[in-house]
Amino acid sequence: MILVPFALRKTRLRPLSPPSPHLATMANPLDTDAGSELFASYEAEIKLVQADLDQKLDQIPELSGEPRKAAISQAERALEEADELLGQMRLEKQNIPSAQRPQINARLRNYESTVSSSKSKLANLSSERNALFGGRYRDDPENPSSSSDIHLAQRQQLLSGTERLDRSSQRLKASQALANETEAIGAAALADLHQQRETILHTQGVLGQSEGYVDRSVKTLRGMARRMATNRIITISIITVLVLLIMAVIFSKFR
């Protein structure tokens, strides 16, 4: 089956970052029989997004200036991606059997709680940034750098929206490919069933012909048996007549 490719994400994990405590609480992968493959792919991807987000949130307090601002923007985009994945998981949850819903709901609530905690942490870090830099991040006509920052933020928002659209498009393409593959499998199964039906009908016809041959053979054998019985009676009659004639000839000689 086709899974949503992870290579579509624009951000990547830094290998030197320590494992996140939030990721440790979510390290319970979806079993193969616990839901659809799409839900499993969304679950795996949101773990990567959350790990990347935790890494950025841990780095932001150590940064200042433009690097800090860029890290906050990246964290905001990661949160948007996490929200989008949660929405996809809520939709895909409807395709999971009811008997397995409680386990899936518990995992989904865990992811929602973790993302909500990350939002609160990022909001606090953003508040600290505004408190530290004050008017620099407000639109001030007398401060050219403020206008530049606003334009940069708007550009980053546009880029973030474009990235979300690209990811949504890729997920839709993956879903369409999965639907096409499922349709092809169904068509192949129907073709196999049709072929098996033709085989059964052909076998039934052959059995009918064989039954006709058997009936004719039985009739032929019965006719042969009757002819053999008739021939036996004729033979016995001839022998009896001959014996009587012989006895008559012998009797006439001794008279």
Say how far apart CA 138 and CA 141 lie, in whole Å. 10
C-beta separation of 9 from 48 below 8 A: yes
Per-residue confidence (pLDDT) for residue 130, from 0 to 100: 52
Average pLDDT over residues 129-153: 51
Look at the pTM and tell me if it is higher than 0.85: no
What is the torsional sign of CA 146, 151, 154, 160?
A: negative
Per-residue confidence (pLDDT) for residue 238, from 0 to 100: 95
What percentage of residues in the chain have a pLDDT greater than 90?
18
Domain ranges of the chain: 6-197
Per-residue confidence (pLDDT) for residue 211, from 0 to 100: 87
Q: pLDDT tens for residues 75-117?
A: 889 889 999 999 888 888 888 888 888 888 888 899 999 999 9
Name the band, by pLDDT with cuts 50, 70 and 90, for residue 199.
very high
**CATH classification for the domain delimited by 6-197, as one of 3.40.80.10, 3.40.190.10, 3.30.70.270, 1.20.58.400:** 1.20.58.400
What percentage of residues in the chain have a pLDDT greater than 70?
75
pLDDT at 39 over 50: yes
Name the band, by pLDDT with cuts 50, 70 and 90, for residue 161.
confident
Nearest-CA neighbor of 113 among 184, 26, 48?
Answer: 26
Q: Is 78 exposed, middle or buried (0-12, 13-18, 19+ CB in 10 A)?
A: buried
Q: What is the mean pLDDT of the chain?
A: 77
Weakest mean pLDDT among 69-73, 163-167, 179-183, 206-210:
163-167
Nearest-CA neighbor of 53 among 7, 92, 85?
Answer: 85
Structure tokens at 84: 């989008």
Query: 3-state secondary structure string, 10-72?
Result: CCCCCCCCCCCHHHHHCCCCCCCCCCCHHHHHHHHHHHHHHHHHHHHHHHHHHCCHHHHHHHH
pLDDT at 203 over 50: yes
pLDDT at 225 over 60: yes
What secondary structure letter does DSSP report for 96? Answer: S
Per-residue confidence (pLDDT) for residue 47, from 0 to 100: 92
Compare 175 and 153 and report the one with higher pLDDT: 175
As a 3-state breakdown, the chain gives helix, strand, coil percent values, each rounded to 5, of 85, 0, 15
> Residues, the chain, total?
255
Per-residue confidence (pLDDT) for residue 150, from 0 to 100: 66
Name the band, by pLDDT with cuts 50, 70 and 90, for residue 165.
confident
Q: Which amino acid is at 74?
A: Q
